[in-house]
Structure 1
Amino acid sequence: MMASATIQDALLLFRQSVATQRPLIPTTSATPNPSAKETPLAQATHLQFNLSPAPVCLPLDTPTRYVDSNGAPFDLRSVYFAYSNHQRTIPEYNGLVEQLNAEFASAGISHRVHGVSFVERLELVTWLEGADECARIKPLEGAPATTVDKSISGAPAAGAAGASRSGKGTMDPRLAAVYNGERRMGDRNSILRGIKPTDFSHVRKLSALFLSKKPSNGTSSSQTSLPLNQKPTTRRPDPIILLSPSASSLLRLTNIKSFLESGRFIPPDAPALNSNLNLLHITRIVKDIDPHRPMRFILVEGCEQFKPDYWNRVVAVFTTGQQWQFKSYKWPKPTDLFKHVQGVYVGYRDDEVPEMVKSWGHRVVSTSVDRWRESDASKLGREIPIVTKDVNYRDREAADHIWKTIESNMRTKGWRRDACPTSI
């Protein structure tokens, strides 16, 4: 009797059908028919299990051993509807439940599908697909409490194996007990306790940012790839050079451009020079940092307009040795300043370097230029003069030495092709 009850149990028949991949067919007939066609659930009255050797039909109103959180059993119709739509999202499933119940009401039928919550649906589908236990499934009537789990997990295998061996749909109780002791092997869903497939399609979109493929013959033009010479997404900051505002400084905004770009020294107070300047831009290729794009250097005489992060972009400070120049700097003490920034002193050739500059150490590079000649000063009204060849060569040599020191210090501080250092 117990074996017969087990074979006719709705949940075990359902689980056996899932395990053997036999179709479940809603129908209007209580008589099993192997060639029966599926009837819409709103009109069906029975569910046909196409098991071997003969199909079995059970009414859709049959209560099952699967209960909700209040202990009320779900009928076979609700269980079948929940499993048929287990891959639907929660809003989609709830919408289909309301739609089906509306069809029942419009047809004057008292049937109703009871919605299953997400957790209840997950537990139900996981058990139907091979899980060993489910707390919401009551044991079979008449089965000992110690054998509840075996009757649940082993019954489908026993029923399938017994039906294929006996050919009669019944099984000897002793043989059923043997089959109930077998360990059922589950699929990946039962082992991982899940049924929802994971969608990794978003990984393809993320990987497209890091993978580049050169198009070959016959390759589609829509192939996702990065350009070979992709431009940086952010603008590179401009390095800053601070000049001394002292009137005794040989290099001011009026003549620094000619000196650093052309290696030509002109007195800062020459009449032909523009004295109404607040800042200058000098463009130069720094091969060891970015050989393809010129860097634009900003030259100013004061730091009044500086923001805090501007100090990370200062690459050189020109000085005459007067400490009042550093009074408004981030590091007002020269010994602290030149630990962070490269210092530059420019004097006349054959003049002694001030003792104050010497005391600041190797972090202040000293160089010299030739004195301006009176014969050259007479030409300033017409054009900027060109000094003699040997003098021009010595001034250019001094400018190159300054640039070499500045660029070396920039590499040390962490200047890169598309970024400046975050601290110096």
Structure 2
Amino acid sequence: MAPIEDPLLLLRHSIASSGKITPTTSADSSDEVPLSKATHLVFSSPDRVAVPIDAPTRFTSTEGKAIDVRSIYFAWLNRDLTIPEYNAIAIKLNDEMAGSAAVHMFAFVERLVLFTFLEGAQEESEFIKPLPGGQDTTAGVSVSARVAGATSKAAPSSSGRAGRGTLDPRLAQIYNGERRMGDRNTVLRGIKATDFSHVRKLAAPFMTRKPGGGPSTAPGVGSTTALALNQKPARRPDPIILLSPSASALLRMSNAKSFLEGGRYAPPDASAPASMLHISRLIKDIDPSRPMRFILVEGPEQFKPEYWNRVVAVFTTGQAWQFKNYRWSNPAELFKHVLGVYLGWRGDEPPESVRVYGHRVMACSVEKWRDPGQPGAETSRWRDREVVEGIWKGIEANMRSKGWRKDAAPTSI
């Protein structure tokens, strides 16, 4: 009866000897199939050996779970990919297997140890269990001998005469006395993986903060009060409000500050061509301790791509040309991401182009403007503040839903 081969050593030997490894649908088959449909891995060198593809190996994950043959072979096939790229194709393979099996998504350290072992540059690791010492390890010995034999046979030809006759015994003795160069894995890490878990405890005071904003103290670590005195508070990005550049808009750059900050409407002044305004507003549910500064602009011409994540409201008159240079030029798509606000006269119906947007656009109305010299003109403006508070209430609810915090803006909206 042939000895049972260890899958890890089989794979390591096949890599060293450039042997063929074939995924098949049975132990007796030699037809290669996709990895998602394979049931066995067939090793052709030095003797034909078939290993069940779901068989566990001696390689364990950081959680102590034995990794199966399919996961290790799949990781080796995609060893040149980055972690995100590898995870993406691993998810695709798992979808193809439709729950019947799943490949393990290796962490960075696990991949490094696995590839170093399979390349022959490492013998021991905390992730690789040793072969059982109490039983006959003929399988492990046989494969180890084959690996050593393949290496010793390859060494004279690669280092000496490249297959042209036998190597001079004296030259072979010199080569055997040379110091062998290691690869980047053995140079940087040695023969065993270094455990850096203790660094997490040292980094905890620097990375963790209490809900109140102050630094937290990790167990076993001294107070970080002195460290907090030297740290600058995190700068919060300013939210952005886009106004309509239309000449028919009731709210323009010239009167937006007095309306949104002062609570009183006045008609826009065409002779005040401001390109940007700053207004302040205390948003209690996000930061009750300090007012937030809002940036008001009429167009996104100077926007960087990340600025769109800070847009909290768009004032519109319903004219589609306003959105031509927006990130979302389709109004229906735009108002899925950003709150829309229409400001019109009390008693007038919003235009049809605004009504079709539905609840995604807040329709507000103010009292029609009357000459302050007319009797009762000022008393009609008491409703302005009520309208302003309603607009801010909508903006605040939208900001909370998008993930605004007291020290950070959302990464996407």
Structure with max Cα Rg: 1
TM tier, shorter chain?
Answer: 0.3 to 0.5
TM-score of the pair, normalised by structure 2: 0.46
